[in-house]
Amino acid sequence: MNFQHSLAVALLAACGIAAAADQPVIGIITKTETNPFFVKMKEGAQQRAQLKGAKLLTGAGRSDGDNAGQVTAIENMIGAGAKAILITPNDSKAIVPAIKKARAAGILVIALDSPADPQSATDALYATDNFKAGLLIGQYAKAALAGKPAKIAMLDLMPGHPVGIARHNGFIAGMGAPGVTAKTTELARTAEVVCMADSHGDQGKGQTAMENCLQKNPGINLVYTINEPAAAGAYKALKAAGKEKGVTIVSVDGGCTGVRDVKAGVIAATAQQYPLNMAVQAVDAGVEYAKTGKKASGYVDTGVTLITDRAQAGVESRDTAYGLSACWGK
């Protein structure tokens, strides 16, 4: 049984072969089925769909970057009679033709977490304000350094990804760089940034990237990471080099493991996002469209909060007790 066949079987098993004529059918397609962020998102969608009396179809890529798997999921959901499809695009550009086909069939398409490219390829986007997430940790880092000159390593996502660009540039703006805004489309860089490397949001790759940065710039005292797995990798590299106590690490995500790393002092602060909010609000919009024909549109901010136990004056934050009450994953 190949992957496409397996995915089709899973979809049918999840929703039943035919839904009642008056029951809204909603589909959700995540980047993967294993990342805790997307597991939480799917759980939220399932609970909300049940509450709303809707059938929920589910699909996912096999791994980050698997566009073909998501295209197959969209085609299966069109065939299964979905009235709305919620998707976290693995490839923001390559997924657009499949989304266009769904919309041409009268299906509402909402991007979750990550926008399509162009963003107007979907009817709406429900996501974290990623520039604000970066801005919060940049403001925090600047305050934590208390005037000490910064030597910054930036462990980014991957080339050209809009979420990675937004968080990166938000951090740079939070550190006080002039002229960097949410509309800046390239990765901004200042003289304080002594190393930039892609981590792909992966702990192992984050560790390797940090090792490479330290080899070239042993005086690094501030590390920005695209997410908490990359932060954990950076910390391992710093600890192996005996430098973990003199370096501040800031990150984004708010998963339970990441918040515990904040509590333990591995990460100084993280910007917590809320996949449950994304799923709940998007399912509501999908059900409303199925019942009334009213389409969601534009961008909906699903919230972000700075989490730290070492609050800095002038930077709004909440502690890890709150972060753990609102986190996702194990």
Per-residue pLDDT tens listing for the chain (330 residues): 444 444 444 444 444 444 456 899 999 999 999 888 899 899 999 999 999 999 999 999 998 789 999 999 999 999 999 999 999 999 989 999 999 999 999 999 999 998 999 999 999 999 999 999 999 999 999 999 999 999 999 999 988 888 899 999 999 999 999 999 999 999 999 999 999 999 998 999 999 999 999 999 999 999 999 999 999 999 999 999 999 999 999 999 999 999 999 999 999 999 999 999 999 999 999 999 999 999 999 999 999 999 999 999 999 999 999 999 999 988
pLDDT score at 146: 95
Which amino acid type is present at position 140? Answer: Y
Nearest to 157 by CA among 85, 247, 224: 224
* Pair of tokens at residue 267: 């990460």
Q: How far is CA 323 from the centre of its chain?
A: 17
Q: How many angstroms separate the CA atoms of 255 and 238, rounded?
A: 22
Residue 48 near residue 110 (C-beta atoms within 8 A): no
SS3 144: helix
pLDDT score at 162: 84
Q: How many angstroms separate the CA atoms of 235 and 260, rounded?
A: 14
Radius of gyration, CA atoms only, the chain: 20
pLDDT score at 22: 81
Count how many Cα atoms sit within 13 Å of the Cα of residue 83 in the half-sphere of its side chain.
Answer: 24
pLDDT score at 3: 43
Q: How many angstroms separate the CA atoms of 314 and 130, rounded?
A: 21
pLDDT score at 65: 82
pLDDT score at 245: 93
Instruction: State phi, psi for 96 to the nearest 5 degrees.
Output: -60, -45
Nearest to 279 by CA among 311, 303, 255, 250: 303
Please tell me the pTM assigned to this model: 0.83
- Beta strand extents in the chain (DSSP E only): 25-30, 55-60, 84-87, 108-112, 124-127, 152-156, 193-198, 222-225, 248-253, 269-273, 298-301, 304-307
> What are the residue ranges of helices labelled H in 176-202?
none
Q: How many angstroms separate the CA atoms of 306 and 251, rounded?
A: 10
Residue 182 near residue 131 (C-beta atoms within 8 A): yes
Which amino acid type is present at position 60? Answer: A
Which DSSP letter does residue 120 get?
Answer: G
pLDDT score at 21: 61
What angle (nearest 5°) sits at the alpha carbon of residue 15, between those of residues 105 and 273? 80
